[in-house]
Amino acid sequence: MSRPDPRRQDLHDTIRTTLTLLNARMADRPKRDLPAQALPSLLERCRQMTEDTARRGPPPVRLVHHLACTGGTLISRCLAALPNVRLLSEVDPLSQLGDGIKFAPTDMIRLSRKGSRPVTREVEMKIFRAGVEVVRQDCRTLGLDLVLRDHSHSAFNHRSYQPDRPTLREVLQDHMPLRSLVTVRHPIDSYLSMIKLGWDKHFKPATLDEYARRYHLFLDRHAAFDMLRYEDFVQDPHAHLRRACDTLDLTYSDGFAELFQAFTLSGDSGRSSGRIGSRPRQPIPAQLEEERQRSETYAKLCARLGYEG
């Protein structure tokens, strides 16, 4: 038999004490036509709520997965604007991006990686999970919903792809409950944005065909999860954010549309305005247009995502 939770008993005792004080204070006041079972009913509802919470178990950590320049920052800012959401942006404990930074006094993984006797990948993951667990417990205490925005670019579009390298979800999945959402954008638009920022040089060869190949790998590793297209989101943000909330088990609120502008996240490489809406496609250089026409990998990717090439 499981041991009773002392915090739940303390809550019940506090409620009983409060009800006793209220009854004593109200004893000399004129009687009103209140339901006879009002106070006991309140106590029962509170007890039922705590028992329901205990039965559901710990809340999940929500994960949002997307590649760079696919509109993920906008969607993540909207999620961050929802009630009681704590969103951490661009999370990947195994990322090699930024390893050239020598001063990182608050980053235990990087300090351990660059120390006099570097730690293994397994130790890096243990450090990361310990940190997530601390934040998760703090969220539970405060009644917040924890969302981690995956920096999938590090795993799939930086240097050579490593099939045995765990994704963010794979690092966490055996240690805590998770919910995942994948967001995507038309690959020609995201690739054009990457060229503009110079991020297409993060992998070799720096071609549309190679980008499409890696995009397929990303989708393969996250094939089990619901997918939200950026273009659909900007056409009807309320309906599609509500759907994302259903997937992630978050509380939806229409107020996100007015609040999301107040949230600044790392990785905001594109949109700067406070309006949610579609944007015209950037001009496609002639050489890239030729690549687009001859790449079967790109054509299959567009079909997989439901886009015209």
What is the domain count for the chain? 1
In a domain, 290, yes or no: no
* Separation in Å, CA 269 to CA 64, 181, 189, 217: 17, 21, 13, 23
In a domain, 206, yes or no: no
- Phi/psi for 188 (5° steps) reads -70, -35
In a domain, 262, yes or no: yes
Instruction: Give per-residue pLDDT as tens, 24-66.
Output: 666 665 555 545 556 667 777 777 766 766 676 899 999 999 9
CATH assignment of the domain containing 179: 3.40.50
In a domain, 243, yes or no: yes
* Mean of the per-residue pLDDT values of the chain: 90
CA distance 89 to 83: 17
β strands within 172-290, DSSP E: 178-184, 226-229
In a domain, 3, yes or no: no
In a domain, 232, yes or no: yes
Q: List, as own/partner pairs, every contact residues 218-222 make where C-beta atoms lie below 8 angstroms and the sequence separation is at least 24, other chains included.
A: 218/65, 218/67, 218/152, 218/155, 218/156, 219/182, 219/184, 219/304, 219/305, 221/167, 222/65, 222/167, 222/169, 222/180, 222/182
Between 63-67, 94-98, 178-182, the lowest mean confidence (pLDDT) is in: 94-98
229 - beta bridge partners?
A: 184
In a domain, 25, yes or no: no
pLDDT reported for residue 7: 58
In a domain, 144, yes or no: yes
User: The domain containing residue 109 runs over which residues?
Assistant: 61-185+225-267
Instruction: Give per-residue pLDDT as tens, 232-264.
Output: 999 999 999 999 999 999 999 999 999 999 998
The closest of 196, 165, 187, 177 to 92, measured between CA atoms, is: 165
Instruction: Give per-residue pLDDT as tens, 148-179.
Output: 999 999 999 999 999 999 999 999 999 999 99
